[in-house]
Amino acid sequence: MKSLDAKLAAYRENPAASDSFVIADAKDPDMAFGVRALGHRRYLSSQGAHPAQFSPEIWSRDEFGYRNLPEFLDIIREVVAQGLVDIMLMSAHVNEQLTIKEGLFQNSHITPAARANDATDVWAARHGNYLSHPAQPFRSASIDHIQCGQLDCDRSTDSFPGANLGLYSVTYLNDLEQDKRTLEAFHAFREEAERKRFRYFLEVFDPNVDSGIPPEKLGAFINDQILRTLAGITEAGRPVFLKIVYHGPRYMEEICQYDSNMAVGVLGGSAGTTYDAFRLLHDAKKHGARLALFGRKINNAEHQLAFIEFLRLIAEDKISPEEAVHAYHGVLQGKGITPNLSLEQDLELTEQSMRYGDEGGKTIVTMPAKRLAKRKSSNAAWPTKSDGAPDFVSMTADQRLAYYTARLKP
pLDDT one-digit tens code per residue, 61-87: 888 899 999 999 999 999 999 999 999
pLDDT digits (tens, 9 = 90+) for 141-175: 999 999 999 999 999 988 999 999 999 999 999 99
Answer yes or no: are the C-beta atoms of 118 and 92 closer than 8 Å: no
State how far the Cα of 146 lies from the Cα of 137, in Å rounded to an integer: 19
Answer whether 112's CB lies under 8 Å from 105's CB.
Answer: yes
Specify whether the CB–CB gap between 203 and 119 falls below 8 A: no
Gap between the Cα atoms of 288 and 278, Å rounded: 16
Buried b (16+ CB within 10 A) or exposed e, 101-138: eeebbeeeebbbbbbbbbbebbbbeeeeebbeebbbbe
Secondary structure of the chain: what % helix, strand, coil (to 5)? Answer: 40, 10, 45
Q: Per-domain residue ranges for the chain?
A: 3-322
What's the rounded mean pLDDT across residues 289-302? 95
Q: With 60 as the cut, is the pLDDT of residue 392 above it?
A: yes
Residue 377 · residue 298 · CB < 8 Å? no
How does the average pLDDT of the chain come out, rounded?
90
Which residues does 119 contact at the CB level (< 8 Å), separation at least 6?
135, 136, 137, 138, 169, 170, 171, 182
Residues 214-258 have pLDDT tens digits of 999 999 999 999 999 999 999 999 999 999 999 999 999 999 999
What confidence score (pLDDT) does residue 364 get? 57
Q: Does domain 3-322 have CATH number 3.20.20.70?
A: yes
